[in-house]
């Protein structure tokens, strides 16, 4: 009985994994995203590694290897759980980029992190007062939401909700962004209108 239960559990897990892979493969094939394999794109936000070459869908507030927005990235592999790419001669892995979204448009989530046209990053429209902050990954009062996103990457939480399931547009519509500094500690960035007005550590 225990062996049969174990076998059924293994088969269920294997089926779930294969179904997820099949779903993703179908979405890639129908979306035209397979054309991105081997292509050069640019990271839309500053990336920070968590450990080794791993980049989470939400950056920590500081630390890690820093990859400035607009860095040329070569897409090497893609699955529902990760995107493997090269930047500055090193391999990186962006994990949980698609979250749990099964109905979402793959391109919306891909373009949350990468763009083909550097003009879409918005580096040219950054307030010169905050240019150094953005290029260094530092938040400062009165920066716009888009400047903060470029500078810090995506927050880990909006209130209690993790952001990996949310689109860029939805994140930009919210006013309380939580970034992690370690596994438990958080920094809250509060916006009024489109500008940052308070940082609570």
- By DSSP bridging, strand 54-56 and strand 186-192 are unpaired
Mean pLDDT taken over the chain: 86
Please, which residues have CB within 8 angstroms of residue 76's CB and are 6 or more apart in sequence?
37, 38, 84, 85, 86, 91
Nearest-angstrom CA–CA distance, 100 and 162? 11
Helix (H) or strand (E) holding 196: strand 195-200
User: 170: how many CB neighbours lie within 10 A of its CB?
Assistant: 11
Task: Note the pLDDT tens digit of each residue in 112-158.
Answer: 999 999 999 999 999 999 999 999 999 999 999 999 999 999 999 99
Interval 10-60: pLDDT, tens: 434 444 444 445 545 555 544 567 778 889 999 999 999 998 999 999 999
Domain boundaries, the chain: 1-31, 32-200
Whole-number Cα distances in Å, 27 to 17, 19, 30, 57, 70: 15, 12, 5, 20, 27
């Amino acid at each position: 009985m225990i062996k049969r239960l174990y076998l059924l559990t293994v088969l269920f897990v294997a089926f779930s994994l294969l179904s997820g892979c099949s779903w993703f493969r179908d979405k890639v094939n129908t979306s035209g995203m397979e054309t991105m394999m081997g292509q050069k794109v640019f990271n839309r936000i500053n990336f920070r590694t968590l450990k080794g070459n791993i980049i989470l869908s939400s950056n920590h507030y500081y630390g890690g290897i820093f990859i400035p927005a607009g860095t040329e990235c070569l897409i090497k592999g893609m699955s529902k759980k990760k995107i493997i790419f090269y930047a500055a001669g090193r391999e990186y892995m962006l994990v949980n980029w698609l979250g749990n979204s099964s109905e979402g448009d793959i391109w919306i989530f891909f373009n949350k992190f990468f763009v083909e046209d550097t003009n879409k990053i918005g580096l040219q429209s950054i307030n010169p007062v905050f240019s150094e902050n953005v290029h260094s990954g530092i938040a400062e009062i009165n920066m716009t939401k888009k400047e903060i996103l470029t500078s810090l990457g995506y927050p880990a939480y909006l209130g209690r909700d993790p952001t990996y399931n949310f689109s860029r547009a939805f994140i930009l519509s919210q006013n309380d962004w939580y970034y992690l500094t370690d596994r438990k500690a958080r920094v809250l960035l509060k916006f009024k209108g489109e500008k940052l007005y308070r940082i609570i550590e």
